[in-house]
Structure 1
């Protein structure tokens, strides 16, 4: 007998139905877990957009816009007063450049000593110079000591004479902040006096540090830096380039751009949620007689409850005069269920009813909070969707346990069948042997007529 084939057939007949059932259950469970995860991700993005728009500070912010950012940029704090200003940048604030007198290229310090570097009337920084130090070594010693001061040293050589000058450059802007060097005895060659201009014979100033000069509404003003604070209350002007003939308009107003960006973020998040739920609940027909493809949450009650709650809030009136519905902002529902924005109408609403827009979106009774209350019970930690995922994960664990039990049962059944079939095979062999013996014995008895061969 072909025992392996018989045992295999019986085991397969026993195992196949249960295994097919577990496979179907596992596929359905895994699909639903994945679908719920996708839904929760879309809901989380939606809630983030709700939180960002439900911030009263967003509607308190002020923006400062420059009509020419190549010359000037501006920012404003939330306490800045709305207004329009005409600005001209006549001169940028700069740092100084000073230089020593011209020195031979192979110059070395004849004695050890100290160079004291000052920016304007500030505190001096002492730099020790070793005897025999070359110009390059002096430069490196200066840069190491001055690395946090905004001052750097460099060497420039005149090819026609071969002579070199030590040049000090400063990023410290503002009038009176020229870089000077005073020396100890023997190092006078490195002296720089800011009272005079640099010449081949004396150290001095190449370019003097200067203030920024500009006008606001015709009033002449100066600043030691190109970052101007306080000229316009709670507004910071960053001077980028000078052009005394060009007038720049700086407009300080409510931060309509920031609010618009957050409204569009909310609309995008809602549309993504709609597209996600449509994908998870749709049924797609395949061919004429093919099995339809279904989303992981077809007919799911949680999806219906979430969408129903959100859509009820979207059409509910709220806020105050001027803005009570999304349609007042140019936001309407399209044929596919997503939201569309009329940019022109939204801009007009923000210009004419900025505070009313804030009241409509923010606060305990604002649209963003009402929408969040509709979905939070589903998506929060330990919420409905999380509990459903936990239940499905428990089902997955149970499927695994059932598979293990099935394998043990099949192993036991296989062993039992082999034992039974082997015993039966042995018995058949024994009976066959007995039959042959009896036949032989009986044929040899007296009186038994044997068949003659033909």
Structure 2
């Protein structure tokens, strides 16, 4: 409530006095709540960042503990322009000599040409289109689609799920449909059989341009380039591309494939043919991938330790100023986490030829982070690939052991989650205490305004009484005022 100034009575600035008294009463508790809130918020943020760093480390551990990572194989071609390949875990390490003499191609044909006048209206009937042994839905030509463009659209609708498309190309002989397939292989040529509708008199329905221009017999058709001059003038159709399969040799053994992806010639290998030519193909253990995963493990661990070092650091300013401390300085759970991880990293391996990270070139530096000696790691991976796998993978491997040590901290009911929940509860209590404080201060303000206003009114009344008495005494007979 607003207070009067008191200028009509005591002259006191009640507003200022009340606000000053309320502030004096409120400030210690407000400062206390601010301190608690700031500390809890800072710790909550730091724990969130810590959990993020641990999560990244756990991901690296999971990758490192995957036996498939150590079973992975690489396939490298000496000439990437000729072919590329991918290897599954079943691929056997070795090398092969490949010679690609023919790539797989799909069929592309140009149907017979018609003049612009002929293209305006065709007889009614049916086009039966096949791609090798695969027959498409019949294309029905009626009065609603009996133009060249209408037939094109009908073919595209029938062939869209089979990889067949039609376009109109105009050349010196007229306009014609060009059909293209995506299916490769020596038997995947396009054929078109035509059946014209007849009326009761046996005449073609429509009496327009014959559908015969659309007929195409893959068995007897020639390449466009080999047509006679007379056939070219007539606008006879022909092959632009004949369908064919891929032909190659692997170490001298001939292999044929309907597609340019050869996946059954060598167990565990999928070979993608790109051009005619020769290339060697080498299948090997994915040593580079394993080295990369070990480095990612070290990098993730280093990020975790670097953050912990920063969050628990104590920085001395000077002799007269308290040191600056990190948000998690003195946190026993963080110290316990770091000590647990360090003890597991130096624990000897349970099996295999490698007993310590140092044997693989991974050592601990003065700040607690890991350093990877790439040359030593490469030597270990090259010399005993199975031994490196045994050290990291399996239930007793380093990755699993470290992961087990993290669980008490990272589980949904673990140490870090419990700490997080406690800090969130603290922030909720701070919010509640702020509301309670605001309510108390509002009541205090109301009470003080009431008290001071009552006092000011009383003072005003006493002042009026004093003035009245002075006037009375001044007017009394025989009373002499000192003034």
Query: Secondary structure of the residue that 1:222 maps to in structure 2?
Result: strand
Sort the Cα spacing of 1:430 and 1:409 in 2 relative to 1 into closer, same or farther, 3 A: same
1:265 deviates by 2.0
1:333 deviates by 2.2
Q: What is the alpha-carbon root mean square deviation over aligned residues?
A: 2.0
Q: Which residue of 2 aligns with 1:189?
A: 213
Q: Is residue 211–residue 222 contact of structure 1 (8 Å, CA) maintained in 2?
A: yes
1:43 aligns with 2:77: no
Aligned match for 2:285, one of 239, 254, 259: 254
1:231 aligns with 2:265: yes
Aligned match for 1:59, one of 64, 70, 73: 70
Q: Is residue 111–residue 237 contact of structure 2 (8 Å, CA) maintained in 1?
A: yes
Matches within 5 A, 1:215-294: 215-243=249-277, 246=278, 248-284=279-315, 292-294=323-325
1:291 deviates by 5.9
1:150 aligns with 2:174: no
1:177 aligns with 2:188: yes
Q: Is residue 320–residue 359 contact of structure 1 (8 Å, CA) maintained in 2?
A: yes
**What are the Cα deviations for residues 121-141 of structure 1, in whole angstroms up to 9, with x where unaligned?**
333431112247222222121
User: Hey, what's the Cα distance between the residues in 2 that align with 1:448 and 1:221?
Assistant: 142
1:384 aligns with 2:438: no
Q: Is residue 193–residue 203 contact of structure 1 (8 Å, CA) maintained in 2?
A: no
Q: Which residue of 2 aligns with 1:363?
A: 394
**What are the Cα deviations for residues 10-29 of structure 1, in whole angstroms up to 9, with x where unaligned?**
11111111111111111111
Q: Is residue 352–residue 390 contact of structure 2 (8 Å, CA) maintained in 1?
A: no
TM-score, normalised by the number of residues in structure 1 = 0.93
Q: Is residue 193–residue 204 contact of structure 1 (8 Å, CA) maintained in 2?
A: no
1:110 aligns with 2:122: yes
Aligned match for 2:439, one of 404, 408, 413: 408
Sort the Cα spacing of 1:121 and 1:7 in 2 relative to 1 into closer, same or farther, 3 A: closer
User: Hey, what's the Cα distance between the residues in 2 that align with 1:260 and 1:171?
Assistant: 41
Q: Is residue 136–residue 159 contact of structure 2 (8 Å, CA) maintained in 1?
A: no
User: Hey, what's the Cα distance between the residues in 2 that align with 1:392 and 1:230?
Assistant: 60
1:269 deviates by 1.0
Aligned match for 1:311, one of 318, 342, 345: 342
5+ residue gaps, structure 1 = none
User: Hey, what's the Cα distance between the residues in 1 that align with 2:134 and 2:445?
Assistant: 95
1:285 deviates by 5.1
Matches within 5 A, 1:434-445: 434-445=465-476
Sort the Cα spacing of 1:301 and 1:118 in 2 relative to 1 into closer, same or farther, 3 A: same
Q: Which residue of 2 aligns with 1:346?
A: 377
Q: Is residue 193–residue 205 contact of structure 1 (8 Å, CA) maintained in 2?
A: no
Aligned match for 2:456, one of 408, 413, 425: 425
Sort the Cα spacing of 1:414 and 1:122 in 2 relative to 1 into closer, same or farther, 3 A: closer
User: Hey, what's the Cα distance between the residues in 2 that align with 1:151 and 1:451?
Assistant: 127
User: Hey, what's the Cα distance between the residues in 1 that align with 2:112 and 2:161?
Assistant: 26
Query: Secondary structure of the residue that 2:264 maps to in structure 1?
Result: strand
1:344 deviates by 2.6
1:383 deviates by 0.5
Q: Which residue of 1 aligns with 2:241?
A: 207
User: Hey, what's the Cα distance between the residues in 2 that align with 1:450 and 1:351?
Assistant: 120
Q: Is residue 105–residue 162 contact of structure 1 (8 Å, CA) maintained in 2?
A: no
| Count of aligned pairs | 447
Aligned match for 1:123, one of 129, 135, 143: 135
1:91 deviates by 1.5
**What are the Cα deviations for residues 170-204 of structure 1, in whole angstroms up to 9, with x where unaligned?**
21111121101110134111111212214434333
Sort the Cα spacing of 1:23 and 1:273 in 2 relative to 1 into closer, same or farther, 3 A: same
Q: Which residue of 1 aligns with 2:22?
A: 11
Query: Secondary structure of the residue that 1:115 maps to in structure 2?
Result: strand
Q: Is residue 323–residue 353 contact of structure 1 (8 Å, CA) maintained in 2?
A: no
User: Hey, what's the Cα distance between the residues in 2 that align with 1:449 and 1:321?
Assistant: 121
TM-score, normalised by the number of residues in structure 2 = 0.87
User: Hey, what's the Cα distance between the residues in 1 that align with 2:385 and 2:122?
Assistant: 74
Query: Secondary structure of the residue that 2:81 maps to in structure 1?
Result: coil
1:289 deviates by 6.2
1:292 deviates by 4.7
